[in-house]
Structure 1
Amino acid sequence: MHPRLTFALAIIEGLAILAYAFSGFIEARKRRLDAVGTFLVALATAFGGGTVRDVLLERRPFYWVQHEAYVVVIFALSLVAPYVLRMASRVFNERALLVADAIGLGLFSISGTSIALDAQMPAFIAVMMGVVTGVFGGIIRDVVCNEVPLLLRDSRPYATCAFAGCWLYLLLDHLQFDSVYSVIFATGFILIARLVTFKLDVRLPH
């Protein structure tokens, strides 16, 4: 993998982990969970999709095992997250959860696709690995919090945005765009597509 892409993906993965952990903190606050519950929900949200991807691609060690620092940071944030989120309840509302979730969706989906390509997976499988990486953290979060996953109860495009963005990334890669810019453009596409379709209340046919 190109050194610049490796560096870009490292930054992207870090941002995605924090974004998904943040959405986990918000969901934990809504459920009035203590610090232990907050940590478990945030950890599952941040690493669920990546762990499923690593299992399917037979990658070892798992990303969160290899990067222990992220687990430690989430643990530390979990100790203070309930108090911070309670004081800032007017800011960290449903909209904040949507934005954090959309950021994580875009960042994780593209990094997952790139990792699958690096593992010599065919194009369609690489895209599906990207979608799995992007959506499964949110699915696990909702299941742990005893909710029907957002992916199943909301007909607005979610996995569809990730699916389209991953194909855009493959197209840019095929056209030999700079790898870093390809990641940035495709990630931005997923983020904007998710927010715009949600704002305009675009819904998929039943």
Structure 2
Amino acid sequence: MEALLYWAGIAAVAVNAITGVLESERKRMDLVGAVTVATATAIGGGTLRDVILNREVFWVADQTYLATAIGIAILTFFWARRRKISPEQFLYPDAIGLALFSVVGAQAALLWHAPWLVASIMGVITGVFGGVLRDVFCNQVPLIFLPGELYASVAWVGALTLIGLQAIGVDGTTAAWIAMAVILVLRAAAIHFRIRLPTFHEPS
């Protein structure tokens, strides 16, 4: 389980760094701007989680995460300059990052002996906060705040899935894979079929 969490965390950092660069390219940022946005996207959620839980920040404890974010950001910057970036190229990698980070964040909180509800919220924070920083840096409304967007909600469902499966005796590795699949499938379906949550409307 520890190995899965570690490599899922590395993969999540890499994927989120890619989404940060893709978004910064759409804003015509230079290399420094792109790497800054990508790094904030990659480590922002986990950093906030660790600060709240009063544990050592993950990329300070192991600089491999930080090196991965910067390295992937630079490679993606030069690759993306040769291609036209469509919204779909951004949203699907973002869904993968959401799935990975939400599960890693929830499990990290459980290992820190956080109560189940707190652990589920830590999963959501880990999954979405990097994207919030990315969108703020790129002067956009964060995905989490778009009306009806299935984003934080699917992260929470996935985190609860992870916690629930382990509570009934499913081993941690299997529970993590299932939870990641739940988040990815729900988010991909929301993107493809344009599924939205109900939004508030004033009565006419």
1:31 aligns with 27
CA distance 1:123–1:76, change in 2 (3 Å) = closer
Q: CA-atom RMSD, angstroms?
A: 1.3
Match status 1:85 vs 2:59: no
Distance of 2:87 and 2:44 partners within structure 1: 21
The alpha-carbon deviation at position 121 of structure 1 amounts to 1.0
Unmatched segments (≥5 aa) in structure 2: 200-204
Where does 1:1-206 land on structure 2 (aligned, <5 Å)? 5-60=1-56, 62-89=57-84, 92-206=85-199
CA distance 1:18–1:154, change in 2 (3 Å) = farther
The code of the aligned residue for 2:44 comes to G
Aligned residues: 199
Q: Is the 8 A contact 2:162 2:179 kept in 1?
A: yes
The code of the aligned residue for 1:44 comes to A
Q: Is the 8 A contact 1:156 1:198 kept in 2?
A: no
Q: Is the 8 A contact 1:36 1:78 kept in 2?
A: no
The alpha-carbon deviation at position 42 of structure 1 amounts to 0.4
Distance of 2:164 and 2:11 partners within structure 1: 24
Distance of 1:80 and 1:115 partners within structure 2: 29
The alpha-carbon deviation at position 84 of structure 1 amounts to 1.2
The alpha-carbon deviation at position 35 of structure 1 amounts to 1.1
**TM score, norm. by length of structure 2:** 0.93
CA distance 1:51–1:169, change in 2 (3 Å) = same
Could you report, residue by residue, the CA deviation over 1:140-168 in whole angstroms, capped at 9, with x for unpaired residues? 10111111111112422111101111111
Distance of 1:47 and 1:21 partners within structure 2: 9
Unmatched segments (≥5 aa) in structure 1: none
The code of the aligned residue for 1:119 comes to W
The code of the aligned residue for 2:96 comes to I
After TM superposition, where is structure 1 displaced by more than 4 Å over at least 4 residues in a row? none
